[in-house]
Amino acid sequence: MAKAKKVEQGALLQITQIRSLSGRPAKHRATMEALGFRRHQQTIVHEDNPAIRGMLFQVRHLVDVQQIAEGEA
C-alpha cells in the first residue's frame, strides 16, 4: 500500500500554466479547464487536497506548482 503524503491544514497551492495546451490530449485539456485555467501563463490558487494533487499529477508537465502560506494569497 502506498504511503499517503500529509497535507498541511490551510496550505494553499499557487499553480501557473507554463506550457501550451496545443496538441495535448482532450483529457489534459479537460483537467486544465477543471482546475480553472482559461489562458496561457495564468496563475490560480487552490487549497491543497488530494483531489487537486491528483489533477496536478496528471498535467504536471504543463504547470508550475508552489506551496504558499494561507496569509500570502
Residue whose C-alpha cell is 477543471: 34
Q: Are strands 12-17 and 43-47 parallel, antiparallel or unpaired?
A: antiparallel
Cβ atoms 63, 25 nearer than 8 A: no
d(C-alpha 45, C-alpha 39), whole Å: 15
In this predicted structure, what is the pLDDT of residue 66?
97
Q: What is the pLDDT along the chain (73 residues), one digit of tens a residue?
A: 555 666 566 799 999 999 999 999 999 999 999 999 999 999 999 999 999 999 999 999 999 999 998 766 6
pLDDT at 10: 72
Catalogue all structural domains in the chain, each as residue range(s) with its CATH number: 12-72 (3.30.1390.20)
15 CB-contact burial (10 Å; exposed 0-12 / middle 13-18 / buried 19+): buried
**Matching residue, cell 496550505:** 11
